[in-house]
Structure 1
Amino acid sequence: MRALPFAALLLAGCATTSVPVAIEAPTVAATAETDPVDTAADAADDPAIWRNAGDPAKSLVIGTDKKAGIHVYSLAGKRLSFTPAARLNNVDLRDLGGRVIAAASDRADIATAHVSLFTLDTAAAKLVPLGRFPVGPGEAYGMCLWTRASDHALFGFVVLKDGRIDQVAIDLSGAAPKMKTVRSMKLGTQSEGCVVDDRTGLLYVAEEDVGLWRFDADPSAPVTATPIAKVDGKTLVADAEGLALAPSGRNGGYLVASSQGDNAYTLYRLPGVTYAGRFRIGGGAIDGTSDTDGIELMLGNFGPAYPQGLFAAQDGDNAPATQNFKYVSWASVKRALKLR
């Protein structure tokens, strides 16, 4: 071991602040990857997954290219269609009795947040635009959907870049969709990732440099946020980005967060939101992921490669090609983290 110079020893002795070290995370290999998006630099952002219960091999993955539009991919990662749209950021979808609705945060107008709605034609593997709807002042950023269990009403949550969260009621009963902002909530700083647990009616939001928060998703509920996990540099490293759910039973399972700062993914056990482990994507024939923004997870049988579920993650560095999305078997994640 080489001796340190005296000055270095002196500085080391004077140090009083320790820097948190992220907890080590096992590596899980990607099973497939999508065709790269069309535009360069920071372009791919957020995926959503539709599972074909009748024929899992024909399930679809949607992914945004926030500089060009939105893609539909096969389970093999092949791009099946592309819908041009300016500056769509996050996307989510719900299957409403056979009609699949996708909603994306629309940043084309940074002064007024919008939501773009689509129907997913699952047979043609194509998104059909339904309209673009203003939400309120500010720049739209995150987006997630909620189907209320009591009456199957559809709501969207638009996370604005300054931390405001606008809840919108989405009415699909007429010839044309209608959208109305029904309440607003607020976090202190820049936020983006969000996901709603349809079972419990709980909304989870990631405040990038602070941590994860929980709200009651019902529009009549208080707008108070409950802190559930901190950006601590060990289990979760800033920026905290995309969120996804692995539900189990009435209120159990896992909440998954993109720990973008150290290229990892952090799991929290529900309902108490306790730390359950971390993993990274890499180590296989397909390159790993880094700087991940959006993630998505859908449980169920997607065929032999994904017998228990499909996890999709944006890859911020897919060089020499442009950015894309990586697919991982949820069974492989569970095995790596020794989860039940």
Structure 2
Amino acid sequence: MTRHRPIRRTFGPAALALTAVVAAATATAAAPAPAGPLPAVTPRAETPALHDDEAGGNADADDPAIWRNPAAPGRSLVIATAKEGGLRAYDLDARPVQSIAAPPAERPDDAPGRFNNVDLVHGLPLSSGPADLAVTSDRGHDRLRFYRIDRDRPGGPLTDVTDPAAPPVFSADQAEINGQRTAYGLATWRDRATGRSYALVSRRERTRVALLELTPGRAGKVTYRTVRTLDLPSSFRLPDGTSWSPCAEPGELPQVEGMVVDPATGTLYAGQEDVGIWRLRADLTGKPRLVDKVREYGVPGVYDEETEECTPGADPGYGGKRVAADVEGLTLIQESGGGGHLLASSQGDDTFAAYDRAAKKGNAYEGGFRVAPAGGTLDGSEECDGAAALNEPLGPKYPHGLLVVQDGHDAPGEGDRPSTNFKFVDLGRVVQALRD
């Protein structure tokens, strides 16, 4: 996604349309924000810097997932997207294990492959046998890509098993794909009642989320079919009776990127970047509920085409207190008995917010933290896009689990050269910081 610019969105003609307003669905968690600075946790390791320029292969760190090796947890992997740089696999020392290029453009004037988000599917029954898969959203081609995970495969742990006939997720043709209102955010989900596996995919610059069923193809390949779609609101009724839409370039609607599904309840949490965090059924039925709002919620803005920025108006005070736009990576710290936390990257102020995992308790706010520099050349996380947590032992390095977060400004950088990477954090330290 583009880096955060405060109050980017504006009232375009489409956004001003009085769509269905969900004032009844805007109840936020009731717990007050804590006083004083948030606690800091420090990373133990970081991946090599990626550079979003020609020399760096236009690689830009974005979203991670953590695959646990059940036979040898200390040999688990972090699998992460690098946009036009494709897909990366790292060991628990944050060292590169494998790099997979994004697919090239179909034709010279078409968009190239661009891997945006990644998630995992475990034990998907394929014609070649059950498989753990890394699933990515290829924003450049408007498709999902699938990679079988085999930690001990000689050529690297990831093998492309995407069915060549897999269709575009949202677009009708290549011309529409080139407009890049394409597959963006991603979360996977297995329905415990049926055993079927799904991907939930959001659309760039639109409010739409699609539910795709993942299906086996021939020769161990994987494809998908669309089950249904849902459009979140783009316009909101404020307490003073006026209608508000986030500031954006003309024609853009407030998109969703960060998403995660609670597997125990089949609940989807979706971060609408300039609005807040939604809770809804993962099968996209029922009514979405806005769990928390960004601080900038309700602030009017006027878009300036010259600067490509928005000039904000007066804050009417209708926003939340815990996250600053954009709401980005969402992940779960799962504990037994349904306990744990929903974590959200608050990109606008470089923090992370934690909410009670239990939806029946209203996903109450439970605190927050920063990922701060550890000293030397190991810096913290700024303008974080994606995050992934796994609350399971991962060998001697991470016996209490692992949190991986994207760093949008890796330091020390190389002058003006864009540098991004991923930070590895002991999850036990995060949980302790939230309890203190």
TM category, shorter: 0.7 to 0.9
Give the structure-2-normalised TM-score.
0.69
Aligned to 1:169: 213
Identify which of 188, 191, 196 aligns with 2:261: 196
Partner SS state of residue 321, structure 2: coil
Q: Structure 2 CA distance, aligned partners of 1:295 and 1:50?
A: 14
Q: Structure 2 CA distance, aligned partners of 1:42 and 1:235?
A: 31
Contact preservation (8 Å) 1:289, 1:317? yes
Gap runs ≥5 in structure 1: 1-19
Q: CA deviation at 1:241?
A: 0.3
| 1:7-86 → structure 2 map (5 Å cutoff) | 24-37=37-50, 39-40=52-53, 43-85=60-102, 86=113
Q: Structure 2 CA distance, aligned partners of 1:115 and 1:30?
A: 31
Partner SS state of residue 277, structure 1: strand
| 1:110-125 → structure 2 map (5 Å cutoff) | 113-124=142-153, 125=156
Aligned to 1:95: 122
Compared CA separation, residues 179 and 290, structure 1 to 2 (3 A): same
Aligned to 2:136: 104
Contact preservation (8 Å) 2:119, 2:136? yes
| Pair 1:279-2:384 in alignment | no
Aligned to 2:407: 315
Structure 1 vs Structure 2 CA RMSD: 2.1
Contact preservation (8 Å) 1:82, 1:126? no
Code of the residue aligned with 1:326 in structure 2: it is K
Give the structure-1-normalised TM-score.
0.87
Partner SS state of residue 134, structure 1: coil
Compared CA separation, residues 172 and 277, structure 1 to 2 (3 A): same
Identify which of 317, 321, 324 aligns with 1:234: 321
Q: Structure 1 CA distance, aligned partners of 2:36 and 2:140?
A: 38
| Pair 1:270-2:366 in alignment | no
Task: Identify which range, 258-267 or 209-218, moves more after superposition.
Answer: 209-218
Q: Structure 1 CA distance, aligned partners of 2:67 and 2:227?
A: 27
Give the percent of matched residue pairs that are identical in Structure 1 and Structure 2.
Answer: 36
Contact preservation (8 Å) 2:74, 2:397? no
Contact preservation (8 Å) 1:22, 1:262? no
Q: Structure 2 CA distance, aligned partners of 1:239 and 1:204?
A: 15
Compared CA separation, residues 291 and 22, structure 1 to 2 (3 A): farther
Contact preservation (8 Å) 1:258, 1:264? yes
Partner SS state of residue 136, structure 1: coil
Compared CA separation, residues 135 and 230, structure 1 to 2 (3 A): same
Compared CA separation, residues 45 and 250, structure 1 to 2 (3 A): same
Select the structure that is richer in strand: 1
Q: Relative contact order (C-alpha < 8 Å, sep 6+): which is higher?
A: 2
Code of the residue aligned with 2:278 in structure 1: it is W
Task: Identify which range, 29-38 or 200-209, moves more after superposition.
Answer: 29-38
Contact preservation (8 Å) 1:62, 1:72? yes
Partner SS state of residue 336, structure 1: helix
| Pair 1:136-2:170 in alignment | yes
Q: Structure 1 CA distance, aligned partners of 2:197 and 2:52?
A: 32
Contact preservation (8 Å) 1:156, 1:168? yes
Q: Structure 1 CA distance, aligned partners of 2:338 and 2:42?
A: 29
Q: Structure 1 CA distance, aligned partners of 2:260 and 2:213?
A: 16
Identify which of 339, 346, 369 aligns with 1:259: 346
Aligned length: 315
Q: Structure 2 CA distance, aligned partners of 1:275 and 1:56?
A: 32
Q: Structure 2 CA distance, aligned partners of 1:173 and 1:198?
A: 25
Partner SS state of residue 235, structure 1: coil
Q: CA deviation at 1:72?
A: 0.3
Aligned to 1:156: 199
Partner SS state of residue 181, structure 1: strand
Instruction: Report Cα offsets for 1:70-125 as digits up to 9, x if no partner.
Output: 0000000100111100201000012217621111111114xxx3111111222234
Code of the residue aligned with 1:277 in structure 2: it is G
Q: Structure 1 CA distance, aligned partners of 2:59 and 2:69?
A: 30
Compared CA separation, residues 178 and 22, structure 1 to 2 (3 A): farther
Gap runs ≥5 in structure 2: 1-32, 103-112, 125-129, 172-180, 235-253, 296-319
Q: CA deviation at 1:42?
A: 7.7
